Every structure is written in structure tokens, then in C-alpha cells.
Structure 1
Amino acid sequence: MYKCCIFDMDGTILDTIESLSHSISLAMAHFGYGPVDEAHTKQFVGDGYKKLVERALVYSGDETLSHYEEALLVYEEIFEENCIYKIKPYEGILELLGFLKEKGIKIGILTNKNQERAEECMDTCFESDYFDLIIGDGIGVFLKPNPEGALFMAETFHVLPSECLYFGDTNTDMQTGIHAGMDTVAVTWGFRDRKELETFQPKYIIDHPEKIKYVFE
């Protein structure tokens, strides 16, 4: 029986693609580059903002990353102002979270987004008592796909990894859940397609949040 659900944030719990695309496009514009469309942004995110900036620079033509250090600072400043730009929960997420709370399931968020920005996003879209723990970048655990954050969360909740479901929408998330010894749930409404997710052979693949409820019945 599962006692804990750990969710990735961007592309899993929250639709943040407009915020991310808008922010990285503004950062690239600072250096005279064109915008980064949502389709490419979906491919560039998932491994923390430093990788996002690196990939966006290469995409924009800065293959030697001559602007990298400055671009990190520019992006951080821009994203601080725009992290909640047009963000919203995915359809069915609120209902799933309510269902899990009724079942007494522990609920955590594990993201590679900066801790402060992650908390700001969650506070904007959800009531404060939805989540038992939020772990982001900057609190002393390795970023995903390292499983340290997921394992720390399980330990905090006093549950075994085998009693946890790990939800995510990218290859990074699939690796995180697998490395942590947790059953992984690949969601197809996020930033990567079903074909990519299937290569990791997750325990479950769902196309709507309600499709996972049956495992708790």
C-alpha cells in the first residue's frame, strides 16, 4: 500500500511553460537573441535553471557560452519577477490532491527549481495545507536525477521508498524515481511525450490525474 506521493512541480503539478518560456526569452533578449518558443523550452527544462540557460544560449547561437555567467544572473533577476506569470495547476490536480489528503497519504513536492521560487509558485496556486513538504534547489540536497531529495522526503515521512509513488513528466523524473527505488508514475500532460517516458518503463503511465486513483482504492 502506498503511503506517500512525491510530485515533480513544473509539468506535473503546475503548468508553468508560459512563465519559463517568457523568462528565458527575456533573458536571451538581453543579449540580442530572439525568443525561445514553448516547444524548445519544454526540451530545455528539467535539470535546473543553469542547464536551461546553457541550452538556451546554445540554441540562440552562443555555442561557446561566452555569455553564460552573465546570463545566469540576468535570468535569475528576470525569473524572480516572472516565476508566477500565467502559471496554473493542471486539470484534475486539485481533485487528486484532495483525494490523497482524504486517504491520509503524505504529499511532497520535489523540484529542481529554486526553493524560494518553488514556494512562491505553490503558495500562488494552492492552499498552504496541501503539501507536507516542498524541496527545491538551495536547501542542501543534490538536484534530480540524484535520488537524495526523494529519499530524504521518504525518511522525513517515515515511509519506505517502496511505499512511495514518484510522479514526473521528464526523463530526469523517471531516473529520480527509479534510482530512489520508488514506483514511478509518468504523466503525459507535461513537457515530454509518451514515447520518451515509455523508454524508462515506469510502473504507471497516466494521461489524467484521476487515472491513478484506483491504486489507492
Structure 2
Amino acid sequence: MKNNKAIIFDLDGTLIDSVLDIALCMNEVLKELNLKSYEIEEYNYFLGGGIDVLVNNVLKNPSEELRQTVSEKFQAVYETTLHSNTKAYEGVCELLQELQNQNFNIGVLSNKPHKFTQGYVEKIFKEFNLKEVHGQKGHIPKKPDPTAAINIAKSFNVPCQDTYFVGDTKVDMQTANNANMISIGVLWGFRDEEELRQYGAKYIVKEPLDILSIIK
């Protein structure tokens, strides 16, 4: 029987709560370089676009040399291990289990580097059959470019217009719309409802299990 149900999730701010570890690592780098550090909650507005965007956001119009230095130091600190503070949001595992029970094709698409996207999925969600897991790769444009999302839908043999895309930032909503997918914005992540609606969220959910009422 053909499986024609598909859903793609963003990772950070959607499936996993990772802001604390990212903030702690970046603040460590900034303090080492005698640069301004930030409160943890401020990082909610710095994340979502990958390392380059994070570095630009914390430095505010840096020189290319400084940008490169901070990026390299951050990667050396953050990307040497899977961090213990990073965990699944409450209700996410229950959602994934129900989606699996309903025979959904489940994918993950993140702007986090591919190796670490895979690492966190394998560590936190190893009991689930997440068929396509993709992070940032040099040869494929980052979100909101739709290329990677479209490729995932093709691998599931499900039309884009029948595929759900779930995320917590404008980048995710733009990705969904650029790929002609059904966008679901979540309110437990890094951004607020205003941003999600402004960038075209078709649905807004407050809790992970709320998604089940949309996909029925």
C-alpha cells in the first residue's frame, strides 16, 4: 500500500530545545575575545539561520576577520560534543510516536551542520523511524531555499502540496511556502505568533500534539 503521508520538521526550536547550550558556548567565545555577551533569552532571536547568521547577529556588522574568528572558535567549542542540556520539547516524542503509528513519512531539515543534525536525532529520537534527516551541507542551499525540502518530499514520493512542514521561525515558514508545502508554525520555539503569521504560517500550534488535529 502506498504511503502518501509526509511531514518535515525543523530541528532546533521545533523538535529540540537547544538554545541554552548554543548560548553558553557562544558566550564563552565572546567573553574569551572580550566582546559583548548576551542573556540566554536573547539568543531566541539570533538562531534559525545556521552558524553564519548566528555569528552575524551576535557581532552586529563585524569585519570579515572577526566573523571568521568567532565562527571558528564557536564551532570548536560547540561542535565537539552533543550537549547535555539539549533535549526534546515536552510532547514531541509522543507526537512522533503517533505519527509513526499513522504511517507518516517523517523527515528533519535543519540549518545546523549535517553531522550534528544527525547526531542529535540519533541521540534523542533513536527509537523513531525518521527516514530523512538533513542538516546544512555545502552543496545544497540553506533554508529558506526550498531545494532540500523538495528533495525530501521526492524521496518520500509525496507531492509537495501534500507535505506538512513544521518549524518555529520565519525561515521555516518561508521554506514551506517556497516549496509549496503546508506550513505549521509552533509557539514553543524561538519566535512568536506574529512573526510566524507574517511569514505565511497556514496553521499555528501551541503544543506538539495539536499537530494531530491538523493532519487528520
RMSD: 1.8
Question: What aligned pairs does 1:15-34 form with structure 2 within 5 A after superposition?
Answer: 15-34=17-36
> In structure 2, the residue corresponding to 1:142 is in which secondary structure?
coil
> In structure 1, the residue corresponding to 2:201 is in which secondary structure?
coil
- Identify the residue that residue 209 of structure 1 maps to in structure 2: 208
- Identify the residue that residue 14 of structure 2 maps to in structure 1: 12
Residue type of the alignment partner of 2:144: P
Residue type of the alignment partner of 1:49: I
Residue type of the alignment partner of 1:97: L
> In structure 1, the residue corresponding to 2:143 is in which secondary structure?
coil
Residue type of the alignment partner of 1:119: Q
- Identify the residue that residue 133 of structure 1 maps to in structure 2: 132
Structure 1 residue 63 displacement after superposition? 4.3
- Identify the residue that residue 174 of structure 1 maps to in structure 2: 173
1:106-138: per-residue Cα shift (whole Å, max 9, x none)? 000000000111111112211254311111112
> In structure 1, the residue corresponding to 2:209 is in which secondary structure?
helix
Q: 2:156, 2:4 → 1: CA distance?
A: 12
Structure 1 residue 90 displacement after superposition? 0.6
Where does structure 1 lack aligned partners over 5 or more consecutive residues?
Answer: none
1:7-53: per-residue Cα shift (whole Å, max 9, x none)? 00000000001111111111212211243222221111111101111
Structure 1 residue 69 displacement after superposition? 1.2
Question: What aligned pairs does 1:41-190 form with structure 2 within 5 A after superposition?
Answer: 41-58=43-60, 63-64=62-63, 66-81=65-80, 83-138=82-137, 140-190=139-189
Q: 2:72, 2:62 → 1: CA distance?
A: 19
Residue type of the alignment partner of 1:178: N
Structure 1 residue 200 displacement after superposition? 2.3
Distance change in 2, residues 1:57/1:65 (3 Å): farther
Q: 2:44, 2:4 → 1: CA distance?
A: 30
Residue type of the alignment partner of 1:86: N
Residue type of the alignment partner of 1:203: K
C-alpha contact (below 8 Å) 2:56/2:62 kept by paired residues:
no
Residue type of the alignment partner of 1:189: W
Deviates more, 1:97-106 or 1:48-57: 48-57
Which TM-score applies when normalising by structure 2? 0.93
C-alpha contact (below 8 Å) 2:6/2:153 kept by paired residues:
yes
Structure 1 residue 102 displacement after superposition? 0.7
Query: Percent identity over the alignment?
Result: 28
Residue type of the alignment partner of 1:42: N
Residue type of the alignment partner of 2:23: S
